[in-house]
Amino acid sequence: MKKSVLKAYAKLAIRMGVNIQKNQELIITANVNDNYFVKYLVEEAYKAKAKLVTVEWVSDEVEKLTNQKASLKTLTEFPLWKEEKLKYQVENLPARLYVDSSDPDAMAGVDQDKMTEVRKVIGPKIMKYREQMDNKYQWCIIGIPGEAWAHKVFPDLPVKKAVSKLWDAILEVTRINGDPIDNWNKHNAFLQDKTDKLNNLNIKKFIYKSKSSGTDFTIEKDERLIFESGNEKTISGVVYNPNMPTEECFTSPKKYSANGVIYSSKALSVMGKVVDNFGFRFEDGKAVEVFAKKEEDKAILEKLISIDEGASRLGEIALVPFSSPINKTGILFYSTLYDENACCHVALGRAFEECIKDFTNKSEKEIKDIDLNKSVIHVDFMIGTADLDIVGETYDGKTVQIFKDGEFAI
């Protein structure tokens, strides 16, 4: 990949993604193999007057070995240095940039029961600090090709060609061609237009139906919640883009309102393994049954929704046209960042407080009264199909066709 293109992508991530502010710290999380690109992120951040840039290096191979070899007792310990690190972040609010190049099957062969127990213990300890930082700092996730990931996406190509082809796809759907900043400003304006239309409808209930997948379920939205999309804003007023790419208009549902069956339309990389051909049956908001073609996939999903009480409920519904640029590539990325923006999706787990209307002016009591779903997980899975219909019932008693044959009808 040309140096000029890598620098343009890095500039987009720093200036439009996290939108680093003068004298603000930045923490970048990236794979040890990604230094060739990360150095341009660091360079661009300092050009934008960042106070300090810290890189936290990760490794699929090391993480797998740690999960396999370290004892459960060791993995569930939360040493003081980790807690102090989180306290520092709560106090100083550094921006966070995540560079994802992970192998979708990185944790294949690892004891899933062990991993589940670790998340059950460690998740709440981290969440305590994360909740104190919510909506107060900028964060962004971008992707670059790792060799194992590229081979998974393009198994019939030599590794170098697979990496090159995945780079091309990532840059295309991230709107790098031409003027990236201008492209994203126009794209955010388009998403905002759709979001405004959805919010003006004031929808209470969503009715999903897809003959091809078997999805047939309903879910409701509290009148005090709104749809969001594209860029977001911190409580202090800094605008940033958390997902690059993004094609969704999203909100959080009432935690007890989901009923019916919902099926995945794309494979999902979850807990370090790819699962496919799965679904859930919901009763009064809770996933009470898991469907999967493979028993091992069913077992992983059952462990996922058992991590805590909120893991079995939905924290997000997101609307994405089936004709999205990502879906048009015809590529299954095996990465939630990309695949969730290919078509409509929902998410198990944690809901979004920022979807509360006039959120920044709400008191803690007002936020708690809405009773949004809480969980240490937030796992998106794709449900959009070419024949997906979504009908909305509004708070003033009207019926509106929101999606018809996989596309917006508004």
* pLDDT (tens digit per residue) in 215-248: 999 999 999 999 999 888 998 999 999 999 999 9
DSSP classification of residue 313? B
Encoded tokens for 345: 């999706």
pLDDT for the residue numbered 224? 95
Pairing of strands 228-229, 232-233: unpaired
Q: Phi/psi of residue 345, each to 5°? A: -150, 170
Please report which confidence band the pLDDT of residue 56 belongs to, taking 50, 70 and 90 as the band edges. Answer: very high
For 97-108, the pLDDT digits (tens) are 999 999 998 888
Please report which confidence band the pLDDT of residue 62 belongs to, taking 50, 70 and 90 as the band edges. Answer: very high
Please enumerate in sequence order all residues whose Cβ is within 8 A of that of 255, keeping only pairs 6 or more positions apart, or say none. 285, 310, 313, 314, 315, 351, 371, 372, 373
Task: Locate the domains of the chain by residue range.
Answer: 3-144, 201-231+244-408
Count the residues in the chain: 410
- pLDDT of residue 59 exceeding 80: yes
Average confidence (pLDDT) over 13-35: 97
- Does domain 3-144 bear CATH number 3.40.1830.10? yes
- pLDDT of residue 272 exceeding 80: no
pLDDT for the residue numbered 312? 97
- pLDDT of residue 344 exceeding 90: yes
pLDDT for the residue numbered 279? 97
Average confidence (pLDDT) over 300-315: 95
- Residue 290 or 134, more confident: 290
Q: Are 355 and 251 in contact (CB under 8 A)?
A: yes
Average confidence (pLDDT) over 48-73: 96
pLDDT for the residue numbered 364? 79
Q: Are 202 and 192 in contact (CB under 8 A)?
A: no
- Residue 73 or 116, more confident: 73
For 135-147, the pLDDT digits (tens) are 899 999 999 999 9
Q: Phi/psi of residue 58, each to 5°? A: -125, 165
CA max distance for the chain = 58
Mean pLDDT of the chain: 94
Coil, strand or helix at 409 = coil
